[in-house]
Structure formats: structure tokens, C-alpha cells
A = this chain, B = another copy of it.
Amino acid sequence: MNVKNVKYKNQGIHAIAAIFTIENGEISVLLIKRKREPFKGKWILTGGAVYNDENVDKGLKREIKEKTGLTDLYFEQFGVFSEPKRSPMLRMIAITYVALVDIKNANIIKETSNTLNAEWFNINDIPKLGYDHEEILDKALEYLKKIILKSDIVKVLLPKHFTMPELQKIYEMLLNKKIDRRNFRKKLLNLGLIEETNYENLGRVGKPPKFYKFKDVITEKNIL
């Protein structure tokens, strides 16, 4: 069946993710450079059009894989951008996501049939973006800060076994503020997302840290 009513013909869905990672102690976001019009040569967030046989999550995964090679990331939907003119030519509605990926697993494909380049940009040094992606990026960062204490989303940024100071650094970077060591430990243990392990790793300066891991089973109570 084809759409006949011209009032809502030729609409499409964009699934768009602000993919974040932590690199050299700073938050970066992955941008891709467009190969075609519109916005040819401009940097944009990762994403693209959802196919008819996909739900939006699946379309996003496929687009990310096609345009960056990334397959193993955590993502969460946070918004809808639907101004009629947000995309020139076709009417596209964007379903937007925050995603996190571990830089160590992040082997980025630089060029594809649709993209000229892909690069991590420090979030304090973002170029002008195509479409309405600057607005989407702003909202994504805001959302990330809001959910970071209510989910185990940071899991992907850490090795299986990690220490409190390692975990704390990630929160400090994402939230962009200093946190008290004692309070942080109490809070995180209280949240019930992580548990101590008997993993050990000596050979470093200073008192050896305890190691923790994210619990395998996250109960309802944990993730609000």
C-alpha cells in the first residue's frame, strides 16, 4: 500500500545517536563527515534513516555499524526532533539516542559509501554540525548527566574489574565536577549496582585498591 495523501507522503525516520566515550580523561563524541548533499562535507552525529522492517533501535544499530563499524555499545533513547524544516528536502523526524562506547573497543571505520570521515571530538571543541545536530548534542549531554546515576550505563567504559577511583574519575568527567571520595564510595555501594570482587592487581604505587564489578543481575530496585 502506498501513501496517497500528499499531506503525509514522503516522511521518514532518522535514528540518531550522540556516541560518547572517554579518551585521555576527557569526554569525546563521535562525529561523521557527510559525503553527499544535504550538508555535504559537514560533520554530523551518527545515524540515518530507519528501514521499513526495523524498529528504531534496530535501525540505529545498523546505521552505527554501517557508518562507524561500532557494534558493541550501550544506548538509550531520549527524545524526538520533528521541526518540519530540520532536514532540507525530505521531511525527516529524528528519534535521538545517547550511546556510550569504550574507546579501547572503538575501532572506527573512517570512510564508507556514505561518509568521508569519522572522528572523536572533545565535547569542548565541536565543529559546526549539519542538520539540527548541535541542538541534539546539547540535549544528549544534558540527558546523559541526568541518567548516569540511575543506570549502569557507565559499565561499557570500564574493564570487568575496576577500582573505586577509576569509577569515580568517569563520573567526575561526565558530570564535570569533583566528588568527595568517601561520599562517592558510600553512594555507589548503596546504589547496589556494583559488588566487591577478590580480583587483585599489585605492582602499582600506593596502597592496593579493592576491585569491583557490576552485578550481573540488576534488580528492579537498582535501576530506578
Contacts and interface: CB of A to CB of B under 8 A. Distances in A.
B9 A11 contact: no
B89 A51 contact: no
B10 A93 contact: no
A8 B13 contact: yes
A124 interface: no
23 contacts: A2-B10, A3-B12, A7-B49, A7-B51, A7-B52, A8-B12, A8-B13, A8-B50, A8-B52, A9-B52, A10-B52, A11-B11, A11-B50, A13-B93, A50-B82, A52-B84, A54-B84, A55-B82, A55-B83, A55-B84, A56-B93, A57-B82, A80-B95
Given A5-B49, A8-B52, 18 more contacts: A2-B10, A7-B51, A7-B52, A8-B12, A8-B13, A8-B51, A13-B13, A13-B82, A50-B93, A52-B84, A52-B91, A54-B84, A55-B83, A55-B84, A57-B82, A80-B80, A82-B95, A93-B95
Pick from A2, A93, A95 the residue with the most CB of B within 10 Å. A93
A92 B8 CA distance: 11
Interface residues of A, number: 30
Given A55-B83, A84-B54, A90-B1, A8 B95 contact: no
Interface string A55-83: 11100000000000000000001001011
A3 B10 contact: yes
Contacts of A5: 49
Q: What secondary structure prevails in chain A residues at the interface with B?
A: loop
Contact of A11 (B7, B52, B55, B82): B52
A180 interface: no
Given A11-B11, A80-B77, A1 B89 contact: yes
Contacts of A1: 10, 89-90
Contacts of A57: 82
A2 B54 CA distance: 21
A216 interface: no
